[in-house]
Structure formats: C-alpha cells, structure tokens
Amino acid sequence: MNRTFTVALAGNANVGKSVIFNQLTGGSQIVGNWPGKTVEKAEGFTEQGGIRIRIVDLPGIYSLSTYSEEEIVSREFIAKQHPDLVVDIIDASNLERNLFFLFQLIELEVPIVIALNQYDMVEEKGFEIDDKKLSELLGIPVIKTVATRNRGLRELFQVIADILKTGKEGFGKVRYGKEVEERIAKLSKVLEKLQDISYPLRFVAIKLLEKDPLITSEIKSPEIISLVENLVKELEDIHGEKSETVIISESYSVASRIAGEVLEKMHDAKHDVSDSLDKVALHRFWGYVMLLGVVLFIFFVVFKFGGYLSGIIGSLFSLLEPYFMHLNMSNPLKELLWNGAIEGIIAGFAIVLPYIAPFYLILSILEDTGYLARIAFLTDNLMHRLGVHGKAFIPLIESFGCNVPAIMGSRVMERKRDRLIVSILATLVPCSARTVIIFGLVAVFLGPLYAILIYALDFLLIFIVGLLLNKYIKGTPMGLIMEMPRFRKPVFKVIFRQTWVRLKAFFYFAMPIIVVANIVMEGLILLKFIGPVTTALSPISTFLGLPPLATITLLFGVLRKELTLIMLATFYQTTNFAKVFTPQQIFIFGFVTMIYIPCVATIAALKREFGNLTAFLVSIGEFIGALLIGGLLNLLLRIF
C-alpha cells in the first residue's frame, strides 16, 4: 500500500484537538490555506503501522451550520475532500454537547473514530463512562484518552491505522423521532433526482428542514422548495416550535439518552478549586484588580527579563561584525549585506525576540490555565462599546508582543466585520518594538510619567478609533456566547507549542519581510537618496516641529518601528538624545512613531487577511491621523 491516507481531526473548541494533532505529527506541521478561504488549517504527516497518513486539523467548532466561516469551511472539507477517516475528539466531561456535534458528523456519512478525551476530568467529577456501551450504541469505535498526559494515545493511533488498513469502518447511525424521520425520508427521496449535490442526501434533507441558508440557496427546483416549505410547516405545527428548534431538540434528546446510558456516578465530585478561583477572578471588583495586577506583572517580567536577554544576544551578534568586515568583498556590497540583511536579522533576534518570546510564553500559560477566557468575560462590556465582544480583547493583548500574530489571531471573532475592527485596533497597540522606543527614548529622557502619558494617550486613541469604526463599519455587533473552561494546571508541552505558534507568525511572516525591506532601504541609502528625500519631507518636519533628520527616520520606522531609534543614533552620532532634541520633540517623536503607520509586516498581514484596499486605507488613514495629532501636539506644546 503506497497511498497516503487523509485523516481529519474534528471537535469542539477547547477539547485538546491540537495536543492530539501534535502528538500524531510530532509537531511538524505546515500551515496552509483552503482554496478560496482564509481560514487556516494545520496539516502534518505521520506514519502509523507502516502507512502514511496526512493529518488535517479542522478548526474547533460546535456545529456544522453556518454560524461562522470555520463551520462552513469544515463541513465543506469533510463533504468535498472525503477524508478517509474523521477522528472526533470529544470532551468526555461534556458528553451531551459533544454528542450533538458527533451526530452532525455522522450525517455527513464519513467513517469516524471517537477519542473520548480529557477523561481525567470525568473522573474528577466522580463519573465513569462505559466506553464499550457507547461504542455499541453509536456503531463507532471509542477510545478513552487524556492527551495532555499521553494516556490512550497509542491505542488511538493503533485503531486509526487498523481501520485504514482493513477498511473496517464505523459510520455510526442516529435516528430521531418519528415525525422528523418521516419527513427526512420523504425529502431525501425527492432529492435523489437532483444531480450535483456534494453532500449526502440525508444531510441535505435535514439542513433543508432546518432552513440552513447556504444549502437552501443551492436548491433551485420550485417543486422541492415548496415541498420543504410544507414539511417545515407540518413540523412547526406539530411541535409549536421553529423547525430548527425541533431538530436540534431531537438531536439533544438522543444525546441525553445515550449520555444517561453510559454515564455512571461513582462518587461525589472533589472540591472544585476552579469555582473558588472564579469567585475572585470574575468578581465585579476584585476581578479587575486581579486583571490589572496580571497585566502589570507581565510587563514587569517581560521588560526586565527581555532587556537582559536582549543585551546578551546583541553583544553576541556584535562579535561577528569584525569578522564579516574582513571578508573579501567590495565595500558597497559588504554594507548592503551587513546593514541591510544581517542587521535586519540581528534586530529580529536581539531587539524584538527577547521581548516577544517571554511575552507569548506568559500569554500561552494564561491561555492554557483558562485565564484568557476570564479576561474576555471581564472586558465584554467595555469591548461592546467598540462594537465587538469580549473575545476581541485577546488579540489586542497579543498585539503588545507583535501586531502580526494578533491580526491572525483576530480569527477568534466569528464575523468578518468584527475581525476587521479588532485588526485595525491591533495595529494601534504598542508592540514590543514600539515599547522599546517609548522605554528607550521617552522614559529615559523625559521620565517614566511621560511614558505612561503616551500609553494613556494611545489607549484613548484606540478607544476613540474603536467607537468610530463601530459607527461607520456596517453590520450588527455580535454578542458573546463563550464556553467558560474550568481553571486547570498548565501543561508545559502545550504551552511551548502555543508559544511557538505565535512566534512562528513573527519568524516566518514578519522577519522575511523586514529583512527584504531592510536591504531595499540600505540600497537607497547607498544610492544617495537621502538628501532629496529630506528636502521633500521638510514640510512635514516643520509641521511636526521635528528636525528634518528625525523625520527621515520615521520613514525607516515603516520597516521596523525600533529602527527609528537606531537611525537617530546613527545620524546624530550620539545616544544622548537630550542634546539634540527638546523635550517637546522627544514627546512628539515618541507618540508619532507609536501610531503613524503599521510596519511593513503588519501591512502585509492586513493585506493577506483583508485584501489590498483595506491594507492601503488603514496605512494611509493612520499616517494622516498621526500627522494631524502630531501637528496638534506640536501646536499645543508650543502654546503651553
């Protein structure tokens, strides 16, 4: 057997899907896009029992309806790409809701294996699940697992390999009440006449009865449309509820019955630490105090530790420079390579990485323990004023590390409108590079109070921009519906993986763009473009009240924000900026650098997620906005 099999991992969010994925593939995933869609899936390869398997990690979803893009994409993947097997990863401690999702998978008529994951949580609650009985009732193999502790995984992989080799598959079967089943049968029969249906007939029939907008729009025959209308009306008359409520209720009653049959109470639940913690973490007053404390703690750790790390890495790299300069090469080429390419890489490693790596490590710990969901809870009301719900706060926090992973992280939002608002706001959040400037310039030469003032002004600006975006971007704001995971002890393997996923966006996406842009800019310097550009920019310099050379550095800041500071030092041959700048100029310079335009990597991320036009408008908008605010500050500071 030489063919490669495809196995898809499906399941609700937060059930440990990525841990299983990672165990299967050894972490060697490649990230790709689905054709025509921007939702990401992770993909990897593995060998199990002598056969080669492509593993596709589908996004975490609760249903195969049309509530979010991720759901549509997942159901299309399963129906149209026909994976050889779908592993449904079930949160064993939340059996009914996960069975509800399983039933929808079953309707897609694919071979399924169930991983009854987080089984330890069931035991903690004092229950046992009869996995043999569950497997018999469903007609699908069931394996108990605790992925984070590596329990049951070997068995799961063995079962997957056996099924692929022998073709002994379990498709499962669900049957609802008589009234519903009769109508599904009637409708399926008529659907048989249709040619180009990419989903199983029974699935289409159910979705039509539920009035699924996408599937309904694919049906053109007026006959079928009127039959559907009649059947829907009959169902609604019998039950006195909307047809989708009827079908979902039926599905849940089957789920409850099965759960009732396989769940056995063994003893009382252990005292729940999570509930006690929530009394503080979600308290209407102490919750916010704790949140503030956590945020301050992160900043303190990141900038203490990051500064230390940055110094070490920087001095290691600078040891290389003399060797490089002795290489046998023409001088301009040497400068192009060193100042362009290598300085770009060094900056990434020595200036940005030491701050974002620890930052994302802490963030991943917060995520794995469940605290990020609490932050979304606490900030929900605030975020609603900006037209988005509490989950939006999470990408905004991510943004303090680097804007690029934050823009990709905006996918936690269900709708495009919300993702756009969050991404635009994220570009205004001071990333680690901008924080370096504020700390290295404003805090050093004007004092920490002014640094805090700049932050406060920036947050105010983000709030105002959010209000405006909410007002002018069309669409209804969505409310929050979020599962609250229990607090749990972090698992380090999982944390490191999450950290790496976030850092990867920086390494693979932001770094190459930074390096290439650096080389281009260095080329322009070598070709002596600086003089004419300075003249061209002089109106802006006057308007902002900055020296012309400082304005030039803003141009470089588009590549990487912290480059402005490095260029200043190069141009003025000093790092004592108090000598060459007035305090007003330092303040204006700091603030303008913070907001004036997203860096190239961020612009590229915007382009990738939202297209050229949005990326262009956001960049231009922020540029003009920063000029106006900078000019206004200049005016005000002159008067007072």
Partner 1 sequence: MKNKKILLLVHQGKKVRIIGFERRGAYFQRRLLEMGLLPGKIIEVVRNTNTGPVEINVMGSNLAIGRGIASKILVEEIDE
Q: Which residues bind partner 1 (CB under 8 A)?
A: 62-63, 65, 67, 93-94, 96-97, 100, 125, 241-242, 244-245, 248-249, 252, 278, 282-284, 287, 373, 376-378, 380-381, 384, 389-390, 476, 478-484, 486
Contacts with 417 (C-beta within 8 Å, 6 or more apart), sequence order: 387, 473, 474, 475
**CB nearer to partner 1: pick between 250 and 562:** 250
* Tokens 């993702």 belong to residue: 419
**CB nearer to partner 1: pick between 375 and 629:** 375
**CB nearer to partner 1: pick between 389 and 502:** 389
| Residues in a beta bridge with 86 | 8, 112
In the complex, minimum distance from the CB of residue 242 to partner 1, in angstroms, rounded to a whole number: 7
In the complex, minimum distance from the CB of residue 57 to partner 1, in angstroms, rounded to a whole number: 22
3-state secondary structure 230-270: HHHHHHHHHHCCCHHHHHHHHHHHHHHHHHHHHEEECCCCC
**CB nearer to partner 1: pick between 91 and 562:** 91
The H or E element spanning position 90 is: strand 85-91
Question: Which residue, among 295, 523, 298, 509, has the nearest Cα to 408 in the 3D structure?
Answer: 509
**CB nearer to partner 1: pick between 181 and 272:** 272
**CB nearer to partner 1: pick between 161 and 232:** 232
In the complex, minimum distance from the CB of residue 373 to partner 1, in angstroms, rounded to a whole number: 8
Contacts with 481 (C-beta within 8 Å, 6 or more apart), sequence order: none
> In the 8-state DSSP scheme, what is residue 411?
G
* Tokens 């299967």 belong to residue: 24
The H or E element spanning position 40 is: strand 40-48
Contact between 158 and 49 under an 8 Å Cβ cutoff? The reply is yes
In the complex, minimum distance from the CB of residue 381 to partner 1, in angstroms, rounded to a whole number: 6
**CB nearer to partner 1: pick between 440 and 485:** 485
In the complex, minimum distance from the CB of residue 182 to partner 1, in angstroms, rounded to a whole number: 22
Q: How far apart are the first and last CA of the chain?
A: 81
In the complex, minimum distance from the CB of residue 239 to partner 1, in angstroms, rounded to a whole number: 10
The H or E element spanning position 97 is: helix 95-107
Contact between 15 and 93 under an 8 Å Cβ cutoff? The reply is no
**CB nearer to partner 1: pick between 169 and 414:** 414
In the complex, minimum distance from the CB of residue 63 to partner 1, in angstroms, rounded to a whole number: 4
**CB nearer to partner 1: pick between 191 and 373:** 373
**CB nearer to partner 1: pick between 245 and 570:** 245
In the complex, minimum distance from the CB of residue 311 to partner 1, in angstroms, rounded to a whole number: 42
Q: Strand, helix or coil at 116? A: strand
The count of residues in the chain is: 640
In the complex, minimum distance from the CB of residue 380 to partner 1, in angstroms, rounded to a whole number: 5
b/e per residue, 371-392, with b = 16+ CB within 10 A?
bbbbbbbbbbeebbebbbbbbb
CA 288 to each of CA 285, 376, 377, 397, 633: distance values in angstroms, whole numbers, following the listed order: 6, 12, 11, 15, 32
Contacts with 565 (C-beta within 8 Å, 6 or more apart), sequence order: 436, 437, 440, 441, 553
d(CA 555, CA 561): 10
**CB nearer to partner 1: pick between 169 and 244:** 244
In the complex, minimum distance from the CB of residue 252 to partner 1, in angstroms, rounded to a whole number: 6
Q: Count how many Cα atoms sit within 13 Å of the Cα of residue 109 in the half-sphere of its side chain.
A: 9
Q: Degrees (nearest 5) of the Cα angle 373, 379, 382?
A: 155
In the complex, minimum distance from the CB of residue 185 to partner 1, in angstroms, rounded to a whole number: 24
Quick one: how far is CA 551 from the chain centroid?
35
Long-range contacts of 473-476 (CB under 8 A, 24+ apart): 473/387, 473/417, 473/420, 473/421, 474/417, 475/415, 475/417
In the complex, minimum distance from the CB of residue 459 to partner 1, in angstroms, rounded to a whole number: 20
In the complex, minimum distance from the CB of residue 105 to partner 1, in angstroms, rounded to a whole number: 14
**CB nearer to partner 1: pick between 164 and 378:** 378
**CB nearer to partner 1: pick between 252 and 317:** 252
Bin 127: left if φ > 0, else alpha if -120 < ψ < 50, else beta: beta
**CB nearer to partner 1: pick between 254 and 605:** 254
In the complex, minimum distance from the CB of residue 359 to partner 1, in angstroms, rounded to a whole number: 26
d(CA 68, CA 73): 9
Question: Which residue, among 461, 409, 392, 386, has the nearest Cα to 430 in the 3D structure?
Answer: 461
Q: What is the CB neighbour count within 10 angstroms for residue 531?
A: 9
In the complex, minimum distance from the CB of residue 426 to partner 1, in angstroms, rounded to a whole number: 21
d(CA 495, CA 371): 13
**CB nearer to partner 1: pick between 168 and 270:** 270
